[in-house]
């Protein structure tokens, strides 16, 4: 699990305190969805003809809840044998979790969540004036 730390230092003439703020993860762990149906005496079986996918939830910054559903079915449904589908589904799940761990943002999340723009760029004259004021 990746943890984010924010460290702030106080002025040197006062006692030094380090503040650590843990942020909420932006996504849940990816999972493989296998459609099942109950046959006979409550014995689950894989439902034929239904789509398999790898899914996870993304944190919506406006509501502070995990409500943006992201799905991937990258070639899982082309296979006919259940064992092959599970192997490919688990491989896709691992690839997605590695990508999310390296700060990747899915394209459909970028459309829903507004990425904060960078600060306004300044000209050299404005930057020198700002530095002089500081």
Could you report the per-residue pLDDT of 24-62, keeping only the tens digit for each? 888 999 999 999 888 877 777 888 888 999 999 999 888
What confidence category does residue 23 fall into, taking pLDDT thresholds of 50, 70 and 90? confident
pLDDT over 80 at 81, yes or no: yes
The domain containing residue 57 runs over which residues? Answer: 31-133
Q: Look at residue 16 and tell me if it is in a domain.
A: no
Total of domains in the chain: 1
As a whole number of angstroms, the distance between CA 125 and CA 51 comes to 59
Q: Look at residue 6 and tell me if it is in a domain.
A: no
pLDDT in tens, 115-134: 655 566 778 888 888 888 88
As a whole number of angstroms, the distance between CA 109 and CA 41 comes to 41
As a whole number of angstroms, the distance between CA 8 and CA 101 comes to 25
Q: SS3 of 9, please?
A: coil
Q: What is the pTM of this model?
A: 0.65
* % of the chain residues with pLDDT over 70: 81
Q: Look at residue 80 and tell me if it is in a domain.
A: yes
């Amino acid at each position: 699990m990746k943890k984010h730390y924010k460290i702030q230092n106080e002025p040197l003439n006062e006692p030094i305190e380090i503040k650590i703020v843990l942020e909420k993860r932006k996504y849940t762990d990816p999972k493989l969805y296998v459609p099942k149906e109950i046959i006979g005496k409550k014995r689950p079986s894989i439902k034929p003809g239904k789509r398999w996918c790898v899914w996870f939830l993304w944190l919506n910054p406006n509501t502070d809840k995990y409500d943006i559903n992201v799905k991937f079915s990258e070639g899982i449904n082309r296979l006919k044998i259940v064992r092959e589908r599970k192997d490919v589904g688990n491989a896709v799940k691992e690839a997605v979790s590695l990508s999310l761990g390296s700060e990747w943002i899915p394209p459909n999340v970028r459309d829903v969540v507004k990425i904060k723009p960078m600060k306004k760029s300044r000209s050299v004259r404005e930057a020198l004036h700002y530095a002089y004021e500081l």
